[in-house]
Amino acid sequence: MASPLTQAAPAAKRGPSVLGVIAIVLIVLSFALGISQAFTGHHEEGAGFHVGVENFHTPPFFEAIPWFTRALLLGTVSFVLALVFWLAMSSNHQLVPSKRQYLGETAYSFVRDGIARDQIGHDFKKYLPYLMALITFVVINNIWEVIPFTLFPTVSHVGWAYTLAVMTWLIYNAVGIRKHGAFGYLKHSVLPSGVPKALWFLVIPIEFLSNIIIRPVTLSLRLFANMFAGHLLVLVFAGGGEYLLFQTEPFINKLAGGAALIFSLAVFALETFVAAIQAYIITVLSAQYIGSALADDH
């Protein structure tokens, strides 16, 4: 007589369900529709499909409030989401962590151990809240690029990237001045130890430009350029695919449009990775700049 353990055969693995295929199709179409309606605008007959700087223009929602644009709305929502996320992650902790608590502790440990402690050193705890806020805010703003019906990274408007870079610039210069004094920090920044006096005239201007002027520029432009180029890539594949598939007549165009929409899923996956890695890079560099300002030797 067969034992109960052997009576029930394991269920055979099933292939992709019809609902799964339908879900993938709906996701692709929602991406295309979101781009078509929100960013490329309604195509005029005979106008064709165009991708360029005009796709980054975000007109105000209300004429009476010209500064209230899509970018500002998404940035504000990002701030609220980041605040709510960390408030939720920091409340009701238990000895045996829940999934929510485990998620929060994992994210916190990643920034604390993988970024702040490595780049800043033993004084890292003072600057951990800023780094946590920075990486969370940036990654949410970047992820808008791959969310249907938003599909717009706010830092593709360079003003957002400039603001984040200036905040880091103010912080690392302020902590450097507080530790070394104004003159001491200036010397610390522009004159590496061990440089012969004969080379000071060459080294000091280079170091001043590199550490004081160029750092915030490169910090902001790196983030801006990656998200700007990524958004153009998304528009070309998803927006162009939507145009070819639904708004042109030749069969070859529709075939190319369908292929572009399918391939756009890979583009969205790539941009999701880019969104996360750019948030990581700006946070690591911010921590590194703070650490270099606090270091005893340049």
Please write the tens of the pLDDT for every residue from 179-234: 989 998 888 888 887 888 888 888 889 989 988 899 999 999 999 999 999 888 88
9 confidence band (pLDDT: 50, 70, 90): very low
253-271 pLDDT, tens digit each: 888 888 888 888 888 889 9
41 confidence band (pLDDT: 50, 70, 90): very low
Confidence (pLDDT) at 11: 44
Domain residue ranges of the chain, discontinuous segments joined by +: 31-38+56-294
Confidence (pLDDT) at 123: 87
Query: Tokens at residue 148, please?
Result: 């249907």
pLDDT greater than 60 at residue 175: yes
pLDDT greater than 70 at residue 298: no
100-140 pLDDT, tens digit each: 888 888 999 999 999 999 999 888 999 999 999 999 999 99
pLDDT greater than 90 at residue 167: yes
- When pLDDT is averaged across residues 81-107 and rounded to a whole number, the result is 85
Query: Tokens at residue 297, please?
Result: 């030797």
Collect all residues with Cβ–Cβ distance below 8 Å to 224 and sequence separation of at least 6: 155, 156, 158, 160, 161
Across the chain, mean pLDDT equals 82
Question: Position 20: which residue type?
Answer: G
Q: pLDDT: is 39 or 224 the higher one? A: 224
Contact 241, 32 (CB under 8 A): yes
- The single-letter DSSP state of residue 10 is P
How many angstroms separate the CA atoms of 241 and 260, rounded?
Answer: 5
Confidence (pLDDT) at 250: 84
- When pLDDT is averaged across residues 150-168 and rounded to a whole number, the result is 90
C-alpha separations of 291 from 122, 172, 180, 281, 283 in Å = 10, 8, 13, 15, 12
| This model's pTM is above 0.85 | no
Of 293, 288, 286, which Cα lies nearest the Cα of 119? 288
Collect all residues with Cβ–Cβ distance below 8 Å to 59 and sequence separation of at least 6: 69
Report the range of poorest mean pLDDT among 166-170, 185-189, 238-242. 238-242
